[in-house]
Amino acid sequence: MTHTPRIYFDNAATTPLDADVLEAMMPYFTTYFGNPSSIYSYGRETRLAIENARKSVAKNLNAHPAEIFFTSGGTESSNMAINAAIDDLHCTHIITSPIEHHATLHTVEHLQQSGKAAVSYVQLLPNGHINLQHLEELLANSNERTLVSLMHANNEVGNLLDIQAVGNLCKKYNAFFHCDTVQTVGHFPFDLRNTPVHFITGAAHKFHGPKGVGIIYINENIKIKPYINGGSQERNMRAGTENVYGIVGFAKALENAMQRFEEDSHYISELKRYMAERLRQEIEGITFNGDPFGNSLYTVLNVSFPKTEKSEMLLYSLDMHHICVSGGSACTSGTNMGSHVIEAIYKNVDRVAIRFSFSKNNTKDEIDTVVQTLKELV
């Protein structure tokens, strides 16, 4: 039996680990196994590895090392930021959007249900971008301490937020700003010293690093308490023995991503453009969701297919052809819930949305195969 190679177009869900990232991690699985909190040499070696990783991450984001804390991933980081804004910064009002990742939405809903914060949802423009005018109205009319939580790039449709503009609005109205940057850390250059933001988040597995490790950036001007209590790890900000090999892997993957940014982003943008062109040529009645050729993440292309019996089964049919894609977001795949993002932007639209997301490992040949398969299936 010949093995059919898989075509993986779900890189916004997770990415394969780079070989040299694994190589950088390996010694910490074996030789350097000490607990970083121990005072003898075994512990000092791993402590040093963590602090070097922190410096490297800070340098690549143009932040101060004291502003970078390692976590278990984007979900924990967003939970930590949003809860800290309520508990430690005394915000009683949260402004967010209906198209945030569930790590943000469910956290905000929980705080609202437990009576800790009032929540306002900023309106969307027809193409899914945040209505900045409405955001300013909400901020201007808020008499309480406010947290604005808006994502930098939407994980389903790829729309990009103007992080400077939102940060400046927050500054103007003395609000705190949490930006879920899980889809953009490792995919865009950041200059945090010159970005008006209080919290950002990152996850290594979105840019060819390991799963289970992330960061939270906490601007040095704000003081919050730990979200997880226990020992004094992460400079008293996150208790629990550090995920040493994960942290080393995060730093190496981010270093790679930033060194190769020009080359990779150009290559992946080309793939996205090529796929859009081929789909337009070959399949009638498709539309693209969000603002894919405007202010958009170069890795994501979200496509709607006219609803038919065949198209409703598209995800399963593609899977049978060894093609990995997702319907909207990976977090809801496998259920027929549909996508809360597509629903929020397009309201009851009767179409089947599929997200194709690319990495530096994909090729135009793979796109040709996928388009041909789609043509046959639709």
Q: Which domains does the chain have, with CATH numbers?
A: 7-16+261-377 (3.90.1150.10), 19-259 (3.40.640.10)
Q: Which long-range contacts (CB under 8 A, 24 or more apart) does 255-258 make?
A: 255/56, 255/60, 256/18, 256/20, 256/21, 256/207, 256/208, 257/186, 257/187, 257/207, 257/208, 258/60, 258/186, 258/189
pLDDT score, position 332: 41
**Predicted pLDDT of residue 306:** 87
- In this prediction, the residues of the chain whose per-residue pLDDT falls under 70 are 1-3, 328-337
Q: What is the reported pLDDT for 333?
A: 42
Q: What is the pLDDT of residue 330?
A: 40
Q: Token pair for residue 311?
A: 């198209």
The answer to whether the pTM exceeds 0.75 is yes
Catalytic residue numbers, as ranges: 331
Residue 347's pLDDT is what? 86
Convert the pLDDT of each residue in 10-22 to its tens digit: 999 999 999 999 9
Which residues, at least 6 apart from 378, have a Cβ–Cβ distance to it below 8 Å? 283, 305, 308, 310, 311, 314
Whole-angstrom distance, CA of residue 306 vs CA of residue 13:
24
